[in-house]
Structure 1
Amino acid sequence: MSYDLVIYGGTPAGIAAAVQAVRLGMKPVIVEPSNRLGGLSSGGLGDTDFGDKSAIGGLALEFYRRLGEKYGSREAVWTFEPKTALAVFRDWVSEYGIEVRFGEKLDLANGVALQGNRIASIRLASGATIHGKMFVDAGYEGDLMKAAGVSYSTGREANRTYGERFNGIQTRRAVLNQLPRGIDPYLRRGDPASGLLPGVNPGAGGQDGEADGKIQAYCYRMCLTDDPRNRVKVERPAGYDESEYELLFRAIERGQTEFFKLHAVPNRKTDSNNIYGFSTDWIGRNYDYPEADYAGREKIAEAHRIYQTGLVWTVQNHPRVPKDIRAFYEPWGLPLDEFADTGHWTPQLYVREARRMLGCEVMNENHVFRKAPVPDSIGLGSYTMDSHNTQRHVSQDGDVLNEGDVQIPLDSPYPISYRAIVPKEEECANLLVPVCLSASHIAYGSIRMEPVFLVLGQSAATAAALALDADVSLQKVAVEKLRLKLLEDGQVLD
């Protein structure tokens, strides 16, 4: 089969790209490695990280308005249940007749056939081949981008790389979501010879502002409920390792009392995320994820599930957890009307960051602070520059600290460059990357929000249509025509 636009990843960005493609007269296909549409937006992240709502337009705003309609509101809704988001995405796919190929993964070894600097087709692990004129990598991992030979980075750059202040190792700024001071780091307290607690490094690995290859922590955004008619209790998981929670017990001794958020979404449910020093983020356990094969990623994801369900079970049941904490968390369980195919636990690991393209322009904190010009805006970001913790280490004072949590608020929204979603032309002339786009670690910490991915997916498809109409590479798309079309379609560009 041949398509005008082949979209790898049924994330919000991928779905927005497909809808826009149909609206512009193209024939798209979505290739989704899992069996579920919507990525994180239908996978538990129902408490939207929107930043400045005025920066969100086009299909992104339409998505949140459609969510409102599901709840009987004429206004956009920003907190929602996973199943409601899934319903909106399914509505779009049905209304626009979008073909979705579920359960199809890219062949990581031989997944891209190139003709010169263009992708001619992609090969799937099932053996199927899909031909296309334009391609979009809308996955959270950047697998299509890598298979096409496009340059990318992982980990944290040094501040000197792009003239930044908040990149690289960050020990002094890591004050939020920090452990209580004074926690002994050793298996036997006071005995270095006994070894360090699980996940604790002997040091930070370098000076503040220096580069490293570490990845900010992942977790699952848990959808929980306290409605006994719609609740299944979280059981102690097979593979539970009590030593993984020794740091939790010691954090309790030093005063920590909350271990995950209970942010409310409709119908007595939550979007439960990381909070404070010991929480749902399994810090330091995801470093191999971006470059792992499918089996390796599944192993990492499963280990995160065991850790996180083990965390819930621990704070609800373990005798070393005080009764008042156990009583606070005891009412919460998994909703029976969510994620029925996967035991009511979301299948979507929160891959906050994996690969980041090195494209025609690298968004960095100077762009985010509006110190560097962006003449080719295709959408706005507005959320705080947000990196979750990246490692645990023994401090100079001899206790355990988290490192890497940086949250830098912004004064205003900022434009995102079209050149940041296209590779260098010599590398690939017909690929757009709206999720693993070209950005430094800390700038990506602001851009990496689901509303922004919806915006960039729509903009990517618009650029693909213009490139096809003009018979040019994506790098030679007339930016003013692109911007005019985006404005016509409701995007907010400045």
Structure 2
Amino acid sequence: MKLLSSLFILFLIFGCKPENTSDYQADLIIYGGTSAAITAAVQAKKMGKSVIVVSPDTHLGGLSSGGLGFTDTGNKSVIGGLAREFYHRVYLHYQTDSAWKWQKKEEYGNKGQGTPAMDGENRTMWIFEPHVAEQVFEDFVSENDLEIHRDEWLDRESGVTKENGQITQIKTLSGKTYRGKIFIDATYEGDLMAAAGVSYHVGRESNKTYGETWNGVQVGVYQHGHYFKKDISAYLIPGDSTSGLLPEISADPPGENGEGDKKLQAYTYRLAMSRHSENRVPFPKPAGYDPARYELLARVYASGWDETFDKYDPIPNLKTDTNNHGPFSTDYIGANYAYPEASYEERKDILKEHTAYQQGLLYYLSHDEKVPDSVRAKMAQWGLAKDEFTDNNNWPHQIYVREARRMIGAYVMTEHDVLGAKPVPNPVGMGSYSLDSHNVQRFVTEDGYVQNEGDIGVHPKNPYSISLGTLLPKKEECTNLLVPVCVSSSHTAFGSIRMEPVFMILGQSAAAAASLAIDQGIAVQEVKYEELRKILLEEGQVLEQ
């Protein structure tokens, strides 16, 4: 008997031990740490599914917690479901006295994009500090007991296993494997989608591709203020083409209007800056700083430009969400073309270059004598917010990937859908923001002057629906993947869709569709729309107006 008892104990100790503690399995595997990833995970849990979020990011929330606190909302009435819950929780936070550490609540200007930042009637708040947004996402995680595997990077070379058109498992660089019934790619880059062999596009399509007007090259189109309004020589010696180009100007011709290319709208870091003396860190001088690379900005100032501080958008506690503004600003134009397809190491180098450019710009604005005295004096009031991004020298963890890969899926949204020229089938959410693209390139005109190209801002007359088909790959390519961030859309349509509230909406809708597919053992493309629609409406999603 003693022998049998001993054998039984050994069986309990060793026989029940998992074969490999690096192997994981769940109904739904979500790759990414963005706002869409978290809303997707919450929705899947609500529908009774096991879910693992495999996040390359340590900090959750993407741009929503990465500096973009001055939310691009458009028409707020079309933001429902978990996205609205997110902004409601932000509102509740700022109703507490403890939320106002560096500023009195009554002194906050309550400025939003077209409407007040704080909407008392609907109990939502659309403008917030980065650390507040991150805490809301972490609250979602803890309250829903979400399993998050952080700092896990997809093996993009051989980490996706497919059988009969389905992803069976993914593997990360650490060697962990994740098996699931359905997968969601919720990254800004679309790495899982690409590694799974799903079709996608990088860059701008030609106008001919989808019969559009605002796609492709757009030389001479100025729909925002981010262009050179006065003639400024592109050359080191003004007017002398033999002297060479100033830094940050491309020698390549811009192309013909309406032509497609492989170029991307510029990236930037959305900075949390502070003007409170106790919460301000001086702008760092980056290694290798060279004021000569900002000579073009000096010429912009010499031309009379004075809009330096127009996009120091106020968020609570005397901070900003600082965004690009003007012809030469925080957008690092032309430096991101390789990013979507680049290796992880190459991306690190690209991000390092963007950081050096932007930190150098801030240092230049603060110190260089070619900057007007009035600007330098005002810059002296500002610094990086000491209480934000505290583990990264107060610099954002996430660069603003405005556009990377875009899936070519079951339905391609175009500007015709966004501008209301055609009905959208099977809506799973709504958008309302302008067709919005930042500048794509900076070039030399035939007269030897510098100019920017690619800045588009065309506002739809009404909010528009977003089709389920934009989340789905073509069935012949993959039957158990949904893509709520790098959605199937043209460059111009994505310019409107690419807003953080919309990503949250689409993440939730993608998870609802995934859950139905799991329940019924069917391909994601076979989910019955009416069944999905019923669930989405019950969850508070707004699908049409």
TM-score, normalization: structure 1? 0.98
1:222-277 deviation per Cα after TM superposition (whole angstroms, max 9, x unaligned): 00000011111112111212232011111111122233521000011100001111
The match for 2:487 among 437, 462, 465 is 437
Q: Which runs of 5+ in 1 are unaligned?
A: none
Partners of 1:340 and 1:202 in 2: how far apart? 39
Please tell me the root mean square deviation across aligned C-alpha atoms, in Å.
1.1
Counterpart of 1:158, as a letter, is S
8 Å contact kept, 2:239–2:448: no
Question: Which residue in 2 is equivalent to 1:257?
Answer: 306
Partners of 2:448 and 2:138 in 1: how far apart? 52
8 Å contact kept, 1:21–1:461: yes
Question: Which residue in 2 is equivalent to 1:455?
Answer: 505
1:164-219 deviation per Cα after TM superposition (whole angstroms, max 9, x unaligned): 00000011213521123211101222221222122323454321111111100000
CA deviation after TM superposition for structure 1 residue 64, in Å: 0.2
8 Å contact kept, 1:180–1:254: no
Partners of 1:370 and 1:418 in 2: how far apart? 17
SS of corresponding position for 2:30: strand
Question: Which residue in 1 is equivalent to 2:472?
Answer: 422
Partners of 1:354 and 1:160 in 2: how far apart? 21
Q: 2:516 matched to 1:466?
A: yes
8 Å contact kept, 1:259–1:280: no
SS of corresponding position for 1:464: helix
SS of corresponding position for 1:134: strand
Q: 2:6 matched to 1:6?
A: no
Counterpart of 1:324, as a letter, is S
SS of corresponding position for 2:194: helix
Evaluate the alpha carbon distance shift between residue 52 and residue 175 of structure 1 in structure 2; reply closer, same or farther with a 3 A threshold. Answer: closer
SS of corresponding position for 2:152: coil
8 Å contact kept, 2:517–2:524: yes
SS of corresponding position for 1:192: strand
Counterpart of 1:454, as a letter, is M
Question: Which residue in 1 is equivalent to 2:332?
Answer: 282
Q: 2:159 matched to 1:111?
A: yes
1:138-189 deviation per Cα after TM superposition (whole angstroms, max 9, x unaligned): 0000000000000000100111110100000011213521123211101222
CA deviation after TM superposition for structure 1 residue 394, in Å: 1.0
Q: 2:62 matched to 1:34?
A: no
Question: Which residue in 1 is equivalent to 2:268?
Answer: 219
The match for 1:230 among 279, 291, 304 is 279
Question: Which residue in 2 is equivalent to 1:72?
Answer: 95
Evaluate the alpha carbon distance shift between residue 175 and residue 370 of structure 1 in structure 2; reply closer, same or farther with a 3 A threshold. Answer: closer
SS of corresponding position for 2:272: coil
8 Å contact kept, 1:174–1:402: no
8 Å contact kept, 1:203–1:395: no
Question: Which residue in 1 is equivalent to 2:40?
Answer: 17
Question: Which residue in 2 is equivalent to 1:408?
Answer: 458
Counterpart of 1:210, as a letter, is E
SS of corresponding position for 1:80: coil
SS of corresponding position for 1:248: helix
Structure showing greater radius of gyration is: 2
Question: Which residue in 2 is equivalent to 1:476?
Answer: 526
Question: Which residue in 2 is equivalent to 1:191?
Answer: 240
TM-score, normalization: structure 2? 0.89
Partners of 1:205 and 1:217 in 2: how far apart? 15
8 Å contact kept, 1:225–1:332: yes
Question: Which residue in 2 is equivalent to 1:167?
Answer: 215
Which stretch shows the higher mean deviation, 29-38 or 215-224?
29-38
8 Å contact kept, 2:426–2:467: yes
8 Å contact kept, 1:383–1:447: yes
Counterpart of 2:512, as a letter, is T
Partners of 1:323 and 1:384 in 2: how far apart? 36
The match for 1:328 among 358, 375, 378 is 378
Equivalenced residue count is 494
8 Å contact kept, 1:7–1:137: yes
The match for 1:137 among 177, 181, 185 is 185
Partners of 2:308 and 2:288 in 1: how far apart? 21
Counterpart of 1:336, as a letter, is K
SS of corresponding position for 2:391: helix
8 Å contact kept, 2:223–2:457: no
Partners of 2:493 and 2:290 in 1: how far apart? 36
Partners of 2:252 and 2:148 in 1: how far apart? 47
Question: Which residue in 1 is equivalent to 2:292?
Answer: 243
Question: Which residue in 2 is equivalent to 1:158?
Answer: 206
